[in-house]
Amino acid sequence: MERWPWSSGGAWLLVAARALLQLLRADLRLGRPLLAALALLAVLDWLCQRLLPPLAALAVLTAAGWIALSRLARPPRLPVATRAVLITGCDSGFGKETAKQLDTMGFTVLATVLDLDSPGALELRACCSPRLKLLQMDLTKPADISRVLEFTKTHTSSSGLWGLVNNAGYNAVVADVELSPVDTFRSCMEVNFFGALELTKGLLPLLRQSRGRIVTVGSPAGDMPYQCLGAYGTSKAAVVLLMDTFSCELLPWGIKVSVVQPGCFKTESVLNVGRWEMSKQLLLANLPRDLLQAYGKDYIEHLHRQFVHSLRQALPDLSPVVDAITDALLAAQPQRRYYPGRGVSLMYFIHYYLPEGLRRRFLQLFFISPCLPRALQPDQPGPTPGHSPGEAQ
């Protein structure tokens, strides 16, 4: 039976008018979520035209479109005004791009770098406004942290410090935990945990005064057992738990705490294949003889190749992470967790809801495929896998 076309046309006209208004106000972004919502509305339109009277079809389609656009709309944001933000790790990657975007928006940006003459520091100095201040800081050196704290207190006395972005991160080795020197765990913890802890505690009086924001860049490796990222993942897990504790403790002070858990993006550290090769050679040169015999050089070479191959899937556009950090700083009600990056939400769904065997296979499929150490290979002498030396045969 033929239906009246005006119900469909009227609903689409109302939805299109609101979408256009949101786009003009920058409350809505063209992208896959919007296209998916429009596709679902088209399916709903088709069903309504066949199952409902014209007035009911108009009401249902309009309501569905209104709800979809409301869900897709960006949450209300606070004005930038004269807000000051300190960002760590601005030599490259997320830190550098976030500093550039916040400076463009009108923030007073205090950007810390390891080297004031690094390419990233020179780029920031060349392309950003005079509001941006470059500060040298090594998070493993208390004297550097103290100097940055004093500078921040002095230079934000009038505007106040609105936000801290703990972005600086460090990973020293890609290897099984047994193969990784304990010093690599300490190195990762010094930067990713203790450095962030000392800096955050030092800035809390300023952040309490402004009722500001703390944003920390974590990693899915801190939530999931990524093979060969034990040192890095452990330090990220520690800092995320620390931020969750801060989130509870600082709530009465009005400070909001967010953690950004990005997928794999093509930052400078990811693209530096020579650095990972040097790390592998250093590991092989210093590995105890018994461990090298048990695991074998081929095993370590395989893990390194798989790791480097997985980096080829990294996303070149860093804007999802930069946008997440910006939203955490300015949204009236920021999220406690952000998951920018292709497939990250699916990864977390699999991790939390599927059986352990499927979780493990998923990580192996998209990260490092399994490989037996030399001592466990069938043609090698030694205990049979699954049996301890003293176990009855």
CATH number of 84-275+317-350: 3.40.50.720
Nearest Cα to Cα of residue 262 among 320, 313, 306: 320
Q: Which of 226, 232, 295, 339 is catalytic?
A: 232
Q: pLDDT band at residue 128, thresholds of 50, 70 and 90?
A: very high
- Please give the pLDDT value at position 384: 46
pLDDT(3) > 60: no
pLDDT(385) > 60: no
Distance (Å, whole) CA 327 – CA 167? 15
Contact between 198 and 148 under an 8 Å Cβ cutoff? The reply is no
Contact between 239 and 192 under an 8 Å Cβ cutoff? The reply is yes
pTM for the structure as a whole: 0.80
- Please give the pLDDT value at position 389: 41
Burial class (CB in 10 A: 0-12, 13-18, 19+), 140: middle
- Please give the pLDDT value at position 152: 97
**Side chain identity, residue 131:** R
pLDDT(184) > 90: yes
Looking at residue 384, the DSSP 8-state letter turns out to be: P
Quick one: residue 228, left, alpha or beta (phi over 0 = left, psi -120 to 50 = alpha)?
Answer: left
Q: What is the largest CA-CA distance in the chain?
A: 81
Distance (Å, whole) CA 271 – CA 269? 5
- Please give the pLDDT value at position 41: 83
Distance (Å, whole) CA 276 – CA 306? 12
Compute the mean pLDDT over every residue in the chain, rounded to the nearest whole number: 88
- Tell me the domain boundaries of the chain: 6-72, 84-275+317-350
232 is catalytic: yes
Q: What angle do CA 49, 53, 56 make, to 5 degrees?
A: 95
SS3 164: strand
Could you report the per-residue pLDDT of 304-360, keeping only the tens digit for each?
998 888 888 888 999 999 999 999 999 988 999 999 998 888 889 888 888 988 888
SS3 13: helix
pLDDT(393) > 70: no
